[in-house]
Structure 1
Amino acid sequence: MAQVSTRKVSLCGKELHGLQHICAFFDSRKEMYDILNPYFREGIDVGDEVVTILESSAHDDHVERMRNGGVPVQDAIQRGQLKVVPSEETYIQDNVFVVDRMYSTLEGVLKGAAEGEFKSVRTCGDMEWALKNLPGTDDLMVYEAKVNTLAPKHDCTLLCCYDVNRFSGRVIADVLATHSHVIIGGHVHENPYYLDPVTFLHKLALRRSSPAPLASES
């Protein structure tokens, strides 16, 4: 049964209602944190657990940008409200992406929040790890679709960040198809290209089963 959220969740100056799985497209780190820092600050202020996932090599910069953006990083980390988690321990543990494993990891985070001190959770996953093309990465969109079956069971806001300069047009199209809301150009929109998980996974299966087109001959 879907959870009814009464907490405030704002992005890009817009207050959102209900459960959200949001993709955010950025073309610079500055633009990214201009949007993320108010989202993080608000989460801490209203008592959410805030979970950020990104590659360990970016953690120092991530923490510094949050601190410069007014996020009370040290206090929130000390009381367990803010978590900065490496992609290498979540998405690509053992240098492979496994859909069911990551789904279970996220489910554990959401259940843990509901049963713990903070009750609700907002996340932010920086998807740069997918550019490494490690084994299993081709199943990322299967995971993104399945998240839409998990989110309605929990009081959560799930945000996935993609650099539009680094991901292919095909990936961007699939990201749009698997998120109900999208941030682009500093604004959040209800996404008209969103497909329910069953429909998307069916389309993806058909695409994968179709033979690749033959190269045109000169």
Structure 2
Amino acid sequence: MNSTAQPIPFGRSMLGEHRHVCAFFNSAAEEYDTLVPFICDGINCGQRAYHVLPDRHRQDHLQRLRNAGIDVEEVMKTRQLEVVLPQETYLKTGRFDKDAMLVLIEEALKAGTALGFPLTRMIAHAETAVDDWKSGIDWIEYEMRLNSVLPNYDDPVICTFDVNLLTAPHAVDILRTHPMVIIGGVLVENSFFTRPQDFIREVQSRTGPSRSYMG
């Protein structure tokens, strides 16, 4: 992160140097209580909002933003708000591809700059890429490698998870790939974060070269 970048209010705290966050939520109400102020703050500051979520949640998502006072149609027209589907991002090739996804993340952040926005606040319903745990090792490696990419940008990337869809071992592995975490609506520094090279070696030793990832 650029040392001159301003901290960002989020989750009753401030996002500073580390801006790769996993956010665990038990319900939509808990999720939007935390995310809506963060989204509104960014849009009111002239920043871009880039959201990835399943099609079944799209209309509810947009209505919640309208209810918060955002002129959804206007900000979508100017591309200040972009809402895209997993099929256009995580699952663009029909399955999760960690290398393609790393490229896509960088392209999305660079696009914000090209469009003239000072910052992009990215929020992704990441559990949509975790439906197929056969590719889970690729997902964990992607999240770890993202920690080497994002320090080149000031843009925050928030990976949201519905904890009701995760097993405990999977949740722990996800937790260990993010330097910051939202739990109970509160942003905290993640003491469980593991250095990428160490965790990748651990996961690979756990799975073996010919076996699927197992949390």
**What's the TM-score once normalised by structure 1's chain length?**
0.89
| Corresponding residue of 1:18 | 17
Change (3 A) 1:211 1:128: closer
Give the structure, 1 or 2, with the largest relative contact order (CA under 8 Å, sep 6 or more): 2
Aligned residues: 211
CA distance in 2, matches of 1:27, 1:146: 27
Change (3 A) 1:80 1:211: closer
| Corresponding residue of 1:76 | 75
RMSD of the TM alignment (CA)?
A: 2.0
Whichever residue aligns with residue 203 of structure 2, its letter is L
Query: Deviation digits for residues 3-36 of structure 1, max 9, x if unmatched?
Result: 2352341112212222410010000001101111
Q: 1:125·1:159 contact (CA, 8 Å) conserved in 2?
A: yes
Q: Secondary structure at the match of 1:104?
A: helix
| Corresponding residue of 2:127 | 128
Q: Secondary structure at the match of 1:95?
A: coil
Percent identity, aligned pairs only? 30
> Equivalent residues in 2 for 1:11-160 (5 A)?
11-133=10-132, 136-160=135-159
Q: Secondary structure at the match of 1:146?
A: helix
For residue 49 of structure 1, report the CA deviation from its aligned partner.
1.4
Whichever residue aligns with residue 155 of structure 1, its letter is D
Give ranges in structure 1 of 5+ residues lacking alignment: 213-218
Whichever residue aligns with residue 75 of structure 2, its letter is A
For residue 71 of structure 1, report the CA deviation from its aligned partner.
3.1
Q: Secondary structure at the match of 1:70?
A: coil
Whichever residue aligns with residue 60 of structure 1, its letter is Q
Q: 1:8·1:46 contact (CA, 8 Å) conserved in 2?
A: no
CA distance in 2, matches of 1:66, 1:113: 20
Q: 2:179·2:193 contact (CA, 8 Å) conserved in 1?
A: yes
Q: Secondary structure at the match of 1:122?
A: strand
1:182 aligns with 2:156: no
Q: 1:87·1:93 contact (CA, 8 Å) conserved in 2?
A: yes
CA distance in 2, matches of 1:70, 1:164: 28
> Equivalent residues in 2 for 1:192-207 (5 A)?
192-207=191-206
**What's the TM-score once normalised by structure 2's chain length?**
0.90
For residue 123 of structure 1, report the CA deviation from its aligned partner.
0.5
Give ranges in structure 2 of 5+ residues lacking alignment: none
Change (3 A) 1:45 1:17: same
